[in-house]
Amino acid sequence: DDEVHVRQKVAEVDPQEAANFEQELRAVMQESIEQRRQELRGRPMLNMVIPMNLFEGSARDHHGRGVGGDSGDEALDEEAGGSKEVQVKVLVKRGNKQQTKQMYIPRDSSLVQSTKQKEAAEFEE
Amino acid sequence: EETGDEDGYEFGKGDFTEHACRYCGVSNPACVVRCNVPSCRKWFCNSRGNTSGSHIVNHLVRAKHKEVCLHKDSPLGETILECYNCGCRNVFLLGFISAKTESVVVLLCREPCLNVNALKDMNWDLSQWCPLIDDRCFLQWLVKIPSEQEQLRARQISAQQINKVEELWKTNPDASLEDLEKPGVDDEPQPVALKYEDAYQYQNVFAPLIKLEADYDKMMKESQSKDNVTIRWDIGLNKKRIAYFVFPKEDNELRLVPGDELRLRYSGDAAHPAWQSVGHVIKLTAQEEVALELRASQGVPVDVNHGFSVDFVWKSTSFDRMQGAMKTFAVDETSVSGYIYHHLLGHEVENQTVRNTLPRRFGAPGLPELNASQVLAVKSVLQKPISLIQGPPGTGKTVTSAAIVYHMAKQGQGQVLVCAPSNVAVDQLAEKISATGLKVVRLCAKSREAVSSPVEHLTLHYQVRHLDTSEKSELHKLQQLKDEQGELSSSDEKKYKALKRATEREISQSADVICCTCVGAGDPRLANFRFRQVLIDESTQATEPECLIPLVLGAKQVVFVGDHCQLGPVIMCKKAARAGLAQSLFERLVLLGVKPIRLQVQYRMHPSLSEFPSNSFYEGTLQNGVTVNERQSSGIDFPWPVPNRPMFFYVQMGQEEISASGTSYLNRTEAANVEKIVTTFLRSGVVPSQIGVITPYEGQRAYIVNYMSRNGALRQQLYKEIEVASVDSFQGREKDYIILSCVRSNEHQGIGFLNDPRRLNVALTRARYGIVILGNPKVLSKQPLWNSLLTHYKEHECLVEGPLNNLKQSMVQFQKPKKIYN
Ligand SMILES: [Zn+2]
Ligand SMILES: [Zn+2]
Ligand SMILES: [Zn+2]
């Protein structure tokens, strides 16, 4: 009866409430953009340093984390549906210093998809 | 075996660990983030529970907070989420993007960094930018969704509870959800009544309402601290330091006004010790720049310009004076006459007439001739202990009031006290009364002495400084010394104060009339004064306890001037408003059967413009004191659909949107057309100061100002000079041309603010020469009053659509008005 319990819980989001909330959320987003456009007169410069050493060996980080652990072959994983996540480095600033942190993100994230496609395209060329 | 105690799991005590979700209690570090707004710092989880958005997104949207910080034990560690390029922390703008290769990602804001050309040049795939908030949740790989188990153990909070607790946090940031269940929080206060047993019962009803309003006001103002403020220093004529800075208003709830007290702080650096000083706002520029006159001139870090903080210093003075007046009303038998006492409480009292010889003519020197209804008003007021004068827009309320005060002062009953809730109204009235030759003293709050006033020569502080007799030379010497040195020795200070007080008293006592705000009537400098005759202008815009302040100084004859068909007092606390604090004493007296004397000739509007307001709000009694010819704008070539009828309703179908504050609305199509109309006016020879743009919503006001200055077809400066304001802030004022943007346009929701007939009345009666209304007839026509307005415009062939240079009559169908049930 755990199942039933969960179902009861998951149900019942008032559609009116959901619609109102969606509208409010959109408003906040829209106004945030509006506000930024007003604040920033003229386009700001690109002002970021990406430490190039990060990119070295990026291919090595590019392994999936499947059920079976460290299988290196992506194609195999995908077909088996085993590897759901990829490891990325998130680049953040700590004061003026850059730092990276390892994260796992879902393989179907658009972040991964795009670069995969690009890589594939490049590979074909 | 687990020793659970240290884990923060202390069930039954109601205490969660610090980083537990404040809605549901989930405390898994991977699932929670902290709101990074300094006054908030609450933690929320990324689970949806029973609501449409995750808890953190719910909080950010409802509280209008926009920054977050990750937990120290989360995969990224304690990190404030911000744009890698520009440092923007608004999570609603942030998203991840791959830095060339998929294995390195950064946070980037979509405005402006995502649009920086250099990025495209670097070959980044900007189309794959992935927003931080997606499907009303934070990205799940960044902030995990609590497991089903965790969610089941958590508190099952509903959207309604979330709304309630967010509301509660505005006044009490430490409140818990349990507080919602506590008695009291949701209890409505006792509502106002029509009649009261005695002044104690009266006080029992009003005191809690004033307390509610005061608490709300305090909370609102004290939460307005601003950091990183940049200062421009100056020195005033009185040699005091003035700090200029921008204090942007976040939404329509708080407006700074001259006289407000602010604290300026500097936390110090290697070369400067920490410093702070309190000052008064003496000026606000159109660009929202504030001029703050500092109290202390010593040690001001004038060589520093950046990094200051500003806090609002809340003062309870006005609320204290209302409470004090209610108490005096109850305990002091001499506070008001018996007749007034019983009448105000709604007791049956036999009518009384005031026995005074009436003047032969009712006008007064220095004022325009009175018309028949004005004469009638003056005459009847002089014979009654309590009277109400209703002054519809443009009917010469101020002149009539001044004439009444003139005759009262001539009756030899002592000094007359003249009040109004707003300083602007008091100044106007003081000026007119002074024109009759009466000796007027305008008493200003100490905090407003440095605020410039059109009637400065009448103010008490000015008269004290300029009383140029030799006996007073001692005071002048001391004043000069004080101005130059900033302070006096303690013995000199004592002498100075005593001399000043004596002089103030002498000047006030020799006046025929004292003018001040209602709250100002509670000034200690008037403590020993008695006023038998009191006139309160704009009394429909004051709360009852506010009106009571001038009355309890011995009133025997009272005149309330106002118009209960226009907007009432502004009450910020909804609970107090619901309980009836927004009902003025004037209105209650009308309900009790006191019949207002109505001024009936209007001198403002083109006769075509006064027709509808007269019929809808004043039973058709409003007569025109101006002719069509006097309101013909010669040489102005504006495409009015019907010549000689300078009005039209411009049909708009654009959608409304909710604005940033979440509490207001805007409508882009209407804004764009407002610009076009303004431009057409300007091109046809109308100058900016003649035009007023009115809209009921702050969101739209801000949007129009911005839109016009960015997209206006003519010189930017022209648009900046055009006043764009809320209906409420236009009350009591006029413009030659008014453009009214209604904003509301939706299928199912109501029309909000526009529903109030009094607001519509004010909006329609500001224009002298012409009015353009922009709105959606399909939506507005559901409301009976708007329906009749639309029908009026349609019947006069003034309901139009299409481009401005080719307006065509609109055939849009109206909806059936809904009956209003109360
Ligand atoms: Zn939660
Ligand atoms: Zn918050
Ligand atoms: Zn940015």
Across chain B, which has 822 residues, the per-10-residue mean pLDDT values are: 32 57 88 94 91 92 93 90 89 88 82 77 78 91 87 78 89 80 67 88 90 91 84 85 80 69 91 91 79 86 91 92 92 86 87 84 94 95 95 96 96 95 95 97 90 91 80 78 78 88 92 97 93 97 97 96 94 92 97 95 96 96 94 86 94 84 82 96 94 90 91 91 88 93 77 82 95 93 92 96 94 82 43
The reply to whether CATH 3.30.420.40 applies to domain B231-306 is no
Regarding whether A106 and A83 lie in a shared domain, the answer is yes
Query: With contact defined as beta carbons under 8 Å apart, do B345 and B199 qualify?
Result: yes
pLDDT in tens, A81-107: 456 788 888 888 877 777 888 888 887
User: pLDDT-based confidence at A69, cuts 50/70/90?
Assistant: very low
Query: With contact defined as beta carbons under 8 Å apart, do B166 and B563 qualify?
Result: no
d(CA B83, CA B112): 10
Say if B75 is an interface residue toward chain A (CB within 8 Å).
yes
Query: With contact defined as beta carbons under 8 Å apart, do B7 and B27 qualify?
Result: no
Interface mutation target, options A20, A32, A87, chain B, most CBs of B under 10 Å: A32
For residue B739, list its beta bridge partners: B693, B772
Regarding whether A67 and A18 lie in a shared domain, the answer is no
Interface mutation target, options A90, A97, A99, A107, chain B, most CBs of B under 10 Å: A90
> Which amino acid does the sequence have at B19?
H
Fold match between domain B231-306 and domain B602-809? no
d(CA B765, CA B232): 41
- Domain positions in chain B: 18-81+141-187, 82-131, 188-221+315-415+530-599, 231-306, 602-809
Residues 6 or more apart from B449 whose CB is under 8 A from it? B459, B461
Residue A44 domain-assigned (yes or no): no
Regarding whether A29 and A59 lie in a shared domain, the answer is no
**How distant, in Å, are the alpha carbons of B42, B82, B90, B345, B706 from that of B70?**
12, 11, 14, 59, 35
Tell if the CB–CB gap between B111 and A36 is shorter than 8 Å. yes
Which residue, chain included where needed, has tokens 């047993």? B197
Residues 6 or more apart from A25 whose CB is under 8 A from it? B53, B57, B61, B133, B136
Question: CA geometry: angle at B581 spanning B577 and B583, to 5°?
Answer: 105
Residue in B118, B136, B661 closest to A46 by CB = B118
Name, of A26-30, A58-62, B542-546, the range with top average pLDDT.
Answer: B542-546
Question: CA geometry: angle at B216 spanning B212 and B219, to 5°?
Answer: 140
Looking at domain B188-221+315-415+530-599, its CATH architecture is 3-Layer(aba) Sandwich (3.40)
Number of domains in chain A: 2
Terminal Cα distance for chain B, rounded: 64
Q: Which residues surround ligand 2, an ion (CB under 5 A)?
A: B 35, 37, 40, 63, 65
**Alpha-helical runs (H) found in B535-597:** 544-551, 574-576, 585-591
Regarding whether A9 and A62 lie in a shared domain, the answer is no
Residue A46 domain-assigned (yes or no): no
Gyration radius of chain B's alpha carbons: 30
d(CA B514, CA A59): 85
Regarding whether A31 and A57 lie in a shared domain, the answer is no
**Would you call the peptide bond into B757 cis, given omega within 30 degrees of 0 as the criterion?**
no
Residue A62 domain-assigned (yes or no): yes
d(CA B133, CA B162): 19
Nearest to B319 by CA among B206, B175, B443: B206
d(CA B704, CA B699): 9
Residue A116 domain-assigned (yes or no): yes
**How distant, in Å, are the alpha carbons of B103, B106, B525 from that of A114?**
12, 15, 75
**How distant, in Å, are the alpha carbons of B389, B464, B568 from that of B516?**
20, 16, 20
**How distant, in Å, are the alpha carbons of B497, B500, B502, B751 from that of B478?**
10, 10, 14, 60
Residue A107 domain-assigned (yes or no): yes
d(CA B86, ligand 3 centre) in Å: 4
What's the token pair of residue A62?
A: 């590019």
- With residue B174 as reference, give the H or E element that holds it: none
Residue in B110, B128, B159 closest to A110 by CB = B128
Residue A45 domain-assigned (yes or no): no
Nearest to B61 by CA among B159, B208, B182: B159
Residue A74 domain-assigned (yes or no): yes
Residues 6 or more apart from B154 whose CB is under 8 A from it? B21, B24, B25, B26, B45, B47, B49, B146
d(CA B353, CA B350): 10
Shortest Cα distance, chain A CAs vs residue B284, angstroms: 21
Regarding whether A88 and A120 lie in a shared domain, the answer is yes
What's the token pair of residue B731?
A: 């009350």
Tell if the CB–CB gap between A106 and B658 is shorter than 8 Å. no
**Three-state secondary structure string covering B448-492:** HCCCCCCCHHHEHHHHHHHCCCHHHHHHHHHHHHHHHHCCCCHHH
For residue B624, list its beta bridge partners: B602
Helix, coil or strand: residue B181: helix
**How distant, in Å, are the alpha carbons of A80, B237, B653, B694, B780 from that of B747?**
50, 57, 11, 23, 11
d(CA B758, CA B570): 13
Tell if the CB–CB gap between B58 and A21 is shorter than 8 Å. yes
Which residue, chain included where needed, has tokens 């349990």? B178
The reply to whether CATH 3.10.20.90 applies to domain B602-809 is no
Regarding whether A117 and A89 lie in a shared domain, the answer is yes
Nearest to B676 by CA among B643, B634, B641, B704: B704
Query: With contact defined as beta carbons under 8 Å apart, do B394 and B734 qualify?
Result: yes
Task: Please report the pLDDT score of residue B275 as a whole number.
Answer: 92
Regarding whether A60 and A85 lie in a shared domain, the answer is yes
d(CA B680, CA B674): 10
What's the token pair of residue B13?
A: 């005590």
d(CA B647, CA B428): 30
Residue in A50, A93, A106 closest to B141 by CB = A106
Contacts of A108 in chain B (CB under 8 A): none
Regarding whether A33 and A57 lie in a shared domain, the answer is no
Supply the DSSP string of B125-143, one letter for each residue.
-GGG-EESEETTEE-TTTS
Which residue, chain included where needed, has tokens 């013995």? B491
What's the token pair of residue B22?
A: 């404040």
Query: With contact defined as beta carbons under 8 Å apart, do B47 and B26 qualify?
Result: yes
Task: Please report the pLDDT score of residue B283 as a whole number.
Answer: 85
Task: Please report the pLDDT score of residue A78 as a whole number.
Answer: 41
Residue A19 domain-assigned (yes or no): yes
Residues of the domain holding A33: 2-39
DSSP B5: G
Interface mutation target, options A6, A24, A28, A123, chain B, most CBs of B under 10 Å: A28
Query: With contact defined as beta carbons under 8 Å apart, do B552 and B336 qualify?
Result: yes
Query: With contact defined as beta carbons under 8 Å apart, do B22 and B38 qualify?
Result: no
Nearest to B547 by CA among B416, B417, B438, B443: B417
Rounded to two decimals, the ipTM of the complex is 0.76
> Which amino acid does the sequence have at B739?
I
